[in-house]
Structure 1
């Protein structure tokens, strides 16, 4: 096969594929919609898990979910328009073009309809153009989201290098990253202005001279050199520019509509935190939905019939920050939190590492138990937490005796000691209040 784009045979092949591409469009669209709809649930589950474990995935999965929804919206619109196009083709086979004389309308309406509606063949041609362009724009939108992700990812790498890597002091790292972020975001705004104006900065000699280096750098950062032929081929078409202008308002409208909520009460809300007057299902392990994780504190069940109750507090980064504030002896020489290579780290472990780790665990837990306090109603209990993994979450677990607790409704409270950053004084902060009912089993 001759793939020379200048040869007549290759152009004839492209023209033939162009005329018959609608069949492939429908086939790919059907499979894509089915796959994307089934992909959202596992991605949402991964997002919930990454939020609970505070992994870096919590920044990336929302972008993937957004991409899925945008692709689904575009592809559904494409299927509707392509279905309308097929219907118009079938109707044309029966009744040919529109016969305005047969309608017997007044001259005023006949002239108006001929001008605004036009011929039926013109209508079919417009549908064909919209379908073909929208199909290309759908996947172009996906590439744009990937580019946005890469820009965001570069900022995260820079933050990890300047602040978390340990190559710089905290103050120096934050300062360098601050200046880098301002400069980089300024360049991003320039590229975004050129994007939303459909290449305005490329049209003037003075602006194109200044914009060219930025354009080349961001071509590599965003990998846009891979799909730029699609962009320029779209923008040199009137229909393409029209759709490009319409898509952003369409997405914003859909986003606005999706965030609308019917408020049924001025006082009651299903998103309230657990308290003496409200019980949130997230605070009860047996009421957690599939792929749902504990946010702050959880007990096994709302109705307790055992002589004890288990309290689980999931581990979070701020938990360790508070522990290090309350016990300066635990502050490590080098903060190893963040991205680390387990392969190389395994070789750096020295002899006696296990014994040293157990000793640190004991001090760590002692500080945690001194920081976090448990009370049922007005009765305070001594904290005796151990490290445990519950519901795929690493955290702290303690068992509280209910031997002296009467039957009925009770409120378990978890509080912790924190250091006020402004006054440098110790304060008591409420972590959670969870209602439960205790009835002895017969």
Structure 2
């Protein structure tokens, strides 16, 4: 009997010794990972913010595609939460690095002397007893800091994975809600489809309710699992949310912490971390300019560098319009109006024939045209029908804009399609003769058709459209 169990015991002993050795040397791995992670986070956070802004500026614009706005918002929610998780991660790693640095300092000091000679200090009164009882020896402090540092390191990853779980679960819920509402609001939906959509909305609301309970159970140290009757009902939902939230990745860390450390310490550390993050955020948003107004690009009394090509920062995108400079010297002003994919729903109403203007000939048509021209590209440029469609398209698309200079409507403007040199923003270019306005300051007011907010989850109609000011740009004629 003992012979049959010996190999198993031997394997367990080897594993235990390997884990013990790994635990003794884990501080080196912790410092290595922490150092690299801090470097990558510090350098990568700005890069991610740049990517996030660029992606949302060009891809996640409500109304720009056939994707439901709530799904777009779900993706934005995920992308906007990532920097928050990264900041939590960075702060925790900095705390861990500080603790490990302190620990290494104590280890170095203990190599000189590991004892504290309280007798030589000659404390009197209550200090004679209080100080020796409450001051740890260097050996005790080394063990204590080693333990705390490892816990903080593990807690860092627990916190980050928990944030990811919350984001994933609520993004799935928002997407499902968006799909349900879209089908319910669709004019082509049958009575059965509407009924199923309403049922789906109810299911999604129940999903959110159970998701909140799932995360509350985590925050309350598995309180709901301890109830005899409620745990029976809660179990299938726990399994479901554990799967979609990837909770199985960090579950071992979670249960190890709540079973080996007092709840008050876990809560206290979490609250301190939240206060630190909130303090940094509040400090960044602190407004001491009480008498300076909030910026708006719809007032001629405010000037934004984003409107001027020679002043705009390299990473900034054109949002509405731009001109080359504040100063005009040759009597002609170039005005670039950005094509906003969010206006696709409006253009679909006023310019239904201008939809999908990219010329994509079939292979057969390409070869047929190639018999008459040197190449398919040449055949495309020689297509008179396509040119007529382009002309009709730009005339229709730019009809959604009105350009005023000093309150005077500029009619009969000649527009061309253009991709701006800054970030290849697509838009419309017109050149205005401003010599008649004379020397001094002048203001361009750009108005455009805007759909009412009630069209977020339904199709836009002509009754929903109204002309509103989009930007005011000041310039000076020399």
SS of aligned partner of 2:333: strand
Q: Which moved more, 1:414-423 or 1:281-290?
A: 414-423
1:187 partnered with 2:210? yes
CA spacing shift, 1:370–1:49, aligned 2, 3 Å: same
Unaligned runs of 5+ in 1: 337-345
Q: Select the residue among 317, 328, 349 that pairs with 1:304.
A: 328
Q: Which moved more, 1:284-293 or 1:122-131?
A: 284-293
Partner of 2:437: 405
Partner of 1:379: 408
Which consecutive segments of 4 or more residues in structure 1 shift more than 6 A? 2-6, 164-168, 346-352, 354-360
Partner of 1:369: 398
Deviations 1:276-324 (A, max 9, x none): 2210112222222232212222222222223322223333344223334
Deviation at residue 95 of structure 1 after TM alignment? 2.8
**Matches of 1:23 and 1:164, distance apart in 2:** 54
Partner of 2:164: 146
CA spacing shift, 1:244–1:425, aligned 2, 3 Å: closer
Q: Is the 8 A contact 1:275 1:435 kept in 2?
A: no
Q: Which moved more, 1:121-130 or 1:68-77?
A: 121-130
Partner of 1:47: 52
**Matches of 1:303 and 1:177, distance apart in 2:** 57
Partner of 1:8: 13
CA spacing shift, 1:416–1:269, aligned 2, 3 Å: same
SS of aligned partner of 1:285: coil
**Matches of 2:124 and 2:188, distance apart in 1:** 80
CA spacing shift, 1:420–1:8, aligned 2, 3 Å: closer
Deviation at residue 166 of structure 1 after TM alignment? 11
Partner of 1:26: 31
Q: Is the 8 A contact 2:298 2:470 kept in 1?
A: no
Q: Is the 8 A contact 2:318 2:338 kept in 1?
A: yes
Q: Select the residue among 321, 334, 340 that pairs with 1:316.
A: 340
Deviations 1:188-212 (A, max 9, x none): 1111211211211112212221221
CA-based RMSD: 3.6
Partner of 2:470: 431
SS of aligned partner of 1:412: strand
**Matches of 2:162 and 2:13, distance apart in 1:** 33
Deviation at residue 80 of structure 1 after TM alignment? 0.4
Unaligned runs of 5+ in 2: 1-6, 61-71, 367-379, 455-461
Q: Which moved more, 1:163-172 or 1:68-77?
A: 163-172
CA spacing shift, 1:165–1:374, aligned 2, 3 Å: same
1:77 partnered with 2:95? yes
Q: Select the residue among 239, 245, 269 that pairs with 1:246.
A: 269
1:219 partnered with 2:251? no
**Matches of 1:310 and 1:13, distance apart in 2:** 72
TM-score by length of 1: 0.83
Partner of 2:108: 90
TM-score by length of 2: 0.77
Q: Is the 8 A contact 1:369 1:384 kept in 2?
A: no
CA spacing shift, 1:276–1:262, aligned 2, 3 Å: same
Q: Which moved more, 1:419-428 or 1:65-74?
A: 419-428
**Matches of 2:236 and 2:441, distance apart in 1:** 68
CA spacing shift, 1:318–1:209, aligned 2, 3 Å: same
1:131 partnered with 2:185? no
**Matches of 2:419 and 2:289, distance apart in 1:** 38
Larger radius of gyration: 2
**Matches of 2:168 and 2:464, distance apart in 1:** 43
SS of aligned partner of 1:181: helix
Q: Is the 8 A contact 2:354 2:389 kept in 1?
A: no
**Matches of 1:220 and 1:350, distance apart in 2:** 50
